[in-house]
Structure 1
Amino acid sequence: MLQVSYIREHQAEVIERLSKRTNEAKSLIDEVIKLDESRRGLQTQVDTISSELNVLSKEIGELFKSGQAQKANESKQKTAELKDAKVVLSEELNTTAEALQTLLYKIPNLPNPIVPVGTTEEDNEEIFQAGTIPTLSENAVPHWELAKKYDIIDFELGNKITGAGFPVYKGKGARLQRALINYFLDKNTAAGYDEIQVPHLVNEASGFGTGQLPDKEGQMYHVTADDLYLIPTAEVPATNIFRDVLLQESDLPKTLTAYTPCFRREAGSYGAHVRGLNRLHQFDKVEILRVEHPSKSYEALDGMVEHVKSILEELKLPYRILKLCAGDLGFTAALTYDFEVFSTAQDRWLEISSISNFETFQANRLKLRFKNSEGKSELAHTLNGSSLALPRVLAGILENYQTDAGIQIPEALIPYTGFAMID
């Protein structure tokens, strides 16, 4: 959530940056300023009446003590009138403050100045590509056919148990899935991230804290009886560890990693491009998260990018990195880099990781602050990224490592799988 004080002090800059995302930038910010001025004016009136009431309360006591009952009663009448006025103004103040808060919740984060202008994923900027795209035999097939051939993932059984988008992993497929989870966690902890286990359901406050609510409400599974939400990513519970927390500057950075299943409704997703593992309602993901000093967050973002690069290079998967344009940027992000692995059998790029800096946007919603060197309270910066999302990494491995004899296992994973081939 944007800070009202920042909007007031940098109105032109905010409108200019927000205009990369929406044509309504000026009207949104004008409405924020209007509501904030109204709120501040009402607050001043309420504070003035409160001060008058305090003065009158002391005067009434003194008047009664000095035998001036008539004047005291006149003051009591004035007090009653002021209290009535305060009630009316306070109600108006609360309504205005709620309207301002609701509006602020609907305004996305300001894109970093280096975010490319654009409206769709076609406008994203490729900034890096590495790895060799393998030449497969003419018998090569996409991962959903490999899954059936080697009986390692059963999409039909998952559909029977739950529905489309809930696969069942079997035999070496299940072991490869578990191997990837452990491998990613080991790589992350070796890089200095502290491993945690978090709940897979969160309350509404947690959803608002990281920006999933109200923006992605329709994409989250809602357990209505308990008013809880299944998590779309470990980012939500892990970041909310720091909700309403005041850190010391010496506590920074905070670095966490967590494995969780993730749940997304993906409403409206259908067609060949979401077949197999390409788009699921339940999937496994290992996440990395950082709480940083504002002056170091972009250095940290670069470090997260390099970390994910090192994992993909160790897995020997062809990949590229995209700098997302403003139109493809997530609601809460100021800058996002997407990693995509090349699926040779499908002849297309598959997104496997998003790494984002949210600057103070989440921290403001979370009330996540730290005491700086001057002893003043300051909003921290939050960052997170996939390291990594399993379905499309697994799809990339199955497709790019397939041979006529079977599916080879990347060398880095063999100590985790205990086997070198799926055949």
Structure 2
Amino acid sequence: MKQTWRWFGPDDPVTLAHVRQAGATGVVSALHHMNRGQAWTDEEMARRKAMIEAAGLTWDVVESIAVPEAIKTRTGDYRQKIDNHKASLRAVGRAGIKVCCYNFMAITDWTRTDLDWPLANGGTALRFDIVDFCAYDVLILKRRGAEADHPKSRIEAARQRLSSWPESKISQLERNLIDWVPARETVYDRQSFLRQLDEYRDITVDGLREHLFLFVREIAATAEEAGVRLAIHPDDPPFPLFGLPRVNSTAADTARLLEAVPSPANGVTLCTGSYGANPANDLTAMARQFGSRIHFAHLRNTRREADGSFYESEHLDGDTDMIGVVAALRDIETAGAREIPMRPDHGHLIVDDIGKKVNPGYSCIGRLKGLAELRGVMRTVDAFRAGKVH
């Protein structure tokens, strides 16, 4: 697998020099300053690519060209936004980048209640706490119909927690849930978030899925022409939030998309953390099921809890069998005579990254540790297959 690293651009506190020192040879990046639904230009693509190549690295994956809410709801100027998306894909192809990761999550991007959850070793991790989420959804945001989406026992537990929280805890939780995600094209306050939720009030799961299929049929045709492979990222978390429909949370969801749009350009980002937070998903089986349609991999691990909460665990120590996944991906590469780009995802905040300015989940040392562990697994799998290890 091609070892890559997500880099958010010139303002990323983790520099391209750090990426090389971590041992990655490829970069995953995007024109985040142009992610408001406009078309990316050849000039901006060339500028970003030149930065990456000057550091002795290659730009292997675009993550992501944003999919505006107008496209997901098929309202307003969605037709112009789709045309702009196609133009951006053509610019990506002309720049020689072969893979484009994207997601189709309504309103939210990846969502966590805690960005600095304390670990026993003194580091911190990302965490999604279902009771904290319920407290925000039902008692703070007071979303219409929210109580119907949570069991009474959870609401009562949330009410008890909220009674002891200072205002600073409430403000931080709100920021984590609706105001902060690196490189998201839109940030919200409480009122604007509620207004955006209203845009989805009449869109069902089947309706949003059909919008996804319509969108992917169009952009897959463009991607084929441009020589770009699309790699949809799963919902994160892989279950409904804020009453919004989810359409790519399970193996069955992904299979439906691949069947609906059989273009070879239409493929998957196998994100072991996002899919893995849903106990219905067997990641090793999914790797083998989707095989040649896997164009990109995010390798991270999560530890699930009985109530639906989860946290980002060590890369090799969670509910996903990472060794089995890596072995399956290496088989896919061998069968297809190709190299799948992968990147370590959502590393812990550890060592002297603690106290530094970092994008949560994207610190240097935590991801470096994850990449080193994954590299060791890849080397061991290869040695075993070659008969060098018994």
TM-score (norm 1): 0.22
Q: Which structure has more RCO (C-alpha within 8 Å, separation ≥ 6)? A: 1
Question: Based on CA coordinates, which of the two structures has the bigger radius of gyration?
Answer: 1
Q: Specify which structure has the higher proportion of strand.
A: 1
